[in-house]
Amino acid sequence: MNVEKTTGEILRESREKKGLLLRQVAALLDIDTAILSKVERGERKATKEQIIKLADILDLRKDELLIHYLSEKIAYELLDEDVASQTLKVAEQRVKYLKAHRR
């Protein structure tokens, strides 16, 4: 997983590679061009639903894009914590525990 590119960069590159305009993709997402522009430049975050649609529109692997997007979101949430790495390790254990003990 490429951790050096932002989700926005991936989206922009993919869109340009397909020769699509912001306007066109935004229309498919049913949002204003301005938002998509901001998403691609990292000024705004997309919603999960938009990411899923974008994967479809841009022929990207849905799971990969989702992991990219979610991990970026979480990384930014924790970036200012100096316990960030430990938190993520514990979070992994928690997820494992919670999924096993699903009520």
Partner DNA sequence: TCTAAATTTGACACTTAATGTCAAGTATAA
Partner DNA sequence: TTATACTTGACATTAAGTGTCAAATTTAGA
Which residue ranges make up the site for DNA (CB under 7 A)? 21-23, 30-35, 37-38, 40-41, 43-45, 47, 50
Please say whether the dihedral angle defined by the alpha carbons of residues 55, 61, 64 and 66, taken in this order, is positive or negative: positive
Q: Which does 27 bind (CB under 5 to 8 A by kind): a copy of itself, DNA, none?
A: none
Position 94 contacts a copy of itself (CB under 8 A): yes
Nearest to 53 by CA among 75, 69, 41: 69
* Contact string (CB under 8 A) for a copy of itself, positions 7-46, x = contact: ----------------------------------------
Q: Mark out the alpha helices in 6-61 (DSSP H runs).
A: 7-17, 22-29, 33-40, 48-57
